[in-house]
């Protein structure tokens, strides 16, 4: 398994070959990646503005994300 964070996919191709062999080809600035499966995940901005977390002692960063330590 290869995980690339903060990476933009320039192009994605799906090719079906002989004997049900299927391949994804993802072109990135790091080169082309081929695989049988593809998982793409995107982040979402936090929606914590209206929660008044600072009143109960929960710290947030500039974007509104809750700050956690290594144990969450």
pLDDT tens-digit series, residues 24-39:
999 998 899 888 888 8
How far, in Å, CA of 17 to CA of 26, rounded?
Answer: 17
To which residue do tokens 């929606």 refer?
A: 47
| Whole-number percent of the chain with pLDDT over 70 | 94
Given a contact cutoff of 8 angstroms between Cβ atoms, the answer to whether 35 and 23 are in contact is yes
What pLDDT was estimated at residue 20? 61
Q: Is residue 48 part of a domain?
A: no
Residue 42 in this model has a pLDDT that exceeds 80: no
Q: Is residue 34 part of a domain?
A: yes
Query: At 19, is the secondary structure helix, strand, or coil?
Result: helix
Element (H, E) at 26: strand 22-28
CA–CA distances in Å: residue 35 to residues 6, 17, 47, 63: 19, 13, 35, 35
Q: Is residue 55 part of a domain?
A: no
Domains in the chain: how many in total?
1
Which domain covers residue 14, as residue numbers?
Answer: 8-38
């Amino acid at each position: 398994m290869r995980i690339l964070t903060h990476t933009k996919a320039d192009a994605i191709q799906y090719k079906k070959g002989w004997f049900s062999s299927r391949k994804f080809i993802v072109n990135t600035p790091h080169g082309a990646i081929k695989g049988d499966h593809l998982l793409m995940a995107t982040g979402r901005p936090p929606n914590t503005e209206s929660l008044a977390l600072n009143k109960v002692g929960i710290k947030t960063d500039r974007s509104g994300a809750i700050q956690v330590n290594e144990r969450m």
